[in-house]
Structure 1
Amino acid sequence: MILVETTLGNLRDPLWQERSRNAKVDPLTLEQWEAPKNRLRKESEGGIELAISLPRSQHLHDGDVLHFDEAAGVIVVARVALKDVLVIELEGIEKLSPAEIVRTCFELGHGLGNQHWPAVIKGSTVYVPLSVDQKVMASVMRTHAFEHVKTRFAPGEEIAAKLDAREVRLLFAGADATPHHHHGNGAHGHDHAHTDGHGHSHAHDHPHDHHHDHSHPHDHANAVVKP
């Protein structure tokens, strides 16, 4: 097993472009939820097992060179395919009245929370990873018709480059998580929107019909707030 504590470069770099012409590129294919991790163990397509242990401040990008065996002429390269990201711009929100700011942020948070969509907030921009079909996400945003909000879709790699490693992990690691609804003797549905930062907010939709005490697992969609 090969321990990888730092990347050697990227295939886009001139040095590695030159070396790759005379060597075999062995891909280490990472799922979207794996890519943000700084510690994992995985085997390349060529059968080389790697233990990746990067500093917390780092994460892997598509094309990162993880190992170079010059004698064997093999370069192990990370292959990452991040999905698109829904970009929600709250342009000019600071110019609104305090009441309008509260209403806009509450309605947006409630709408995202009801969909169980993870999100990262940076400045006045909200990033939501593609967790369902792009047309479905666009339709949901049009249905809500949020005021003071503009939306677009952008490539995951473009957005990851704007975020730090912690934010990338929060944004992409849980993007493929599927919310679960539990039904027993009592009809019970839970919708939760969580914002982890200086505040903590919940959006709930709880119809209850209980005849006995029992516990319910809860699903959570997490978001980080960064001023």
Structure 2
Amino acid sequence: MTILAETYLGNQATNSALQQQVAQARQAEALLEVYLQTDDRAKGRIHAHSTTGVELGIIKSREQFLSTGDVFITKLGQLLLIHLHTQTVMVLGFNGDVMGHAIDLIYLGHVLGNHHWPILVQGDRIYLEMVADPAVMEATVKNINIPGLCIDYEVRSPDAPLQFSPHTHH
């Protein structure tokens, strides 16, 4: 049986009364907690399982972005506390001058696009969403053999994730 939660009560980090309610529910072992991926933040309907294995359906407005500490009340009157996982992304950077490697970089973009791996370019960095095995992604990038290319990883806070655009064909 899926338990529905569609009434948003607020965020316990900014509401001391709600924080007390959560603490009381936790003490009474009546608190449901769920860990969601950062890309679930904007979904209107989320299917998940609580930390205790309870099947949950969370229904909310698509305009509302979830944050760690958000609290819902279920149809059965239980409090549901939201936690968001951190986001790990691959970061591509360069040592030295990239000006002589324009064709290599275009080819890199082509390869990443063919794999449907979402990217985000910010400043002098290319961020890749981790949508495949990290070893496979690293091997694919290294196989292009761009001199000075550096591969690193960054862990992003659930409150400051990178927003990758979905890749579609028209």
Structure 2 length normalisation: TM-score? Answer: 0.64
Structure 1 residue ranges without an equivalent (≥5): 175-193, 195-218, 221-227
| Higher Cα radius of gyration | 1
Query: Greater strand share, 1 or 2?
Result: 2
Give the deviation of 1:82 after TM superposition.
5.4
Deviation at 1:66, TM superposition (A): 3.0
Counterpart CA distance in 2 for 1:91 and 1:17 is 47
CA change 1:134–1:123 in 2 (3 A) is: same
The residue correspondences of 1:175-194 to structure 2 (distance < 5 A) are: none
- Higher RCO, 1 vs 2 (CA within 8 Å, ≥6 residues apart): 2
1:115-154 correspondence runs (5 A) = 115-154=115-154
TM-score relative to the length of structure 1: 0.51
Unaligned runs of 5+ in 2: none
Match of 2:61 among 45, 53, 63: 53
Q: Give the ranges of 4+ consecutive aligned residues of structure 1 lying more than 3 Å apart after TM superposition.
A: 1-4, 13-20, 28-33, 41-50, 79-83, 90-93, 157-160
Relative to 1, partners in 2 of residues 1:120 and 1:59: Cα closer, same or farther, differing over 3 Å?
A: farther
Over the aligned positions, Cα root-mean-square deviation in angstroms equals 3.8
For the residues of structure 1 that align with 2:79 and 2:148, how far apart are their CA atoms?
48
Q: For residue 60 of structure 1, what is the amino acid of its counterpart?
A: L
Note closer, same or farther for the CA distance 1:127–1:76 as it changes in structure 2 (3 Å cut).
same
Q: Kindly indicate whether the alpha-carbon contact (under 8 Å) linking 1:7 and 1:64 is maintained by their aligned counterparts in 2.
A: no
Pairwise CA distance, 1:27 = 2.3
From 65, 72, 81, the counterpart of 2:70:
65
Q: Residue 53 of structure 1: CA displacement? A: 0.5
C-alpha distance in structure 1 between counterparts of 2:159 and 2:154, whole Å: 10
Does residue 27 of structure 2 align to residue 21 of structure 1? Answer: no
Shift in alpha-carbon separation, 1:161–1:41, aligned structure 2, 3 A: closer
Letter in 2 for 1:86: M
**What is the distance in 2 between the residues matched to 1:43 and 1:84?**
21
The answer to whether structure 1 residue 78 and structure 2 residue 45 are counterparts is no
Amino acid at match of 2:69: D
For residues 147-204 of structure 1, give each alpha carbon's deviation from its aligned partner in whole angstroms, at most 9, with x where no partner exists: 343221223x4387153xxx25x2xxx6xxxxxxxxxxxxxxxxxxx7xxxxxxxxxx
Number of aligned residue pairs: give it. Answer: 156
Letter in 2 for 1:39: G
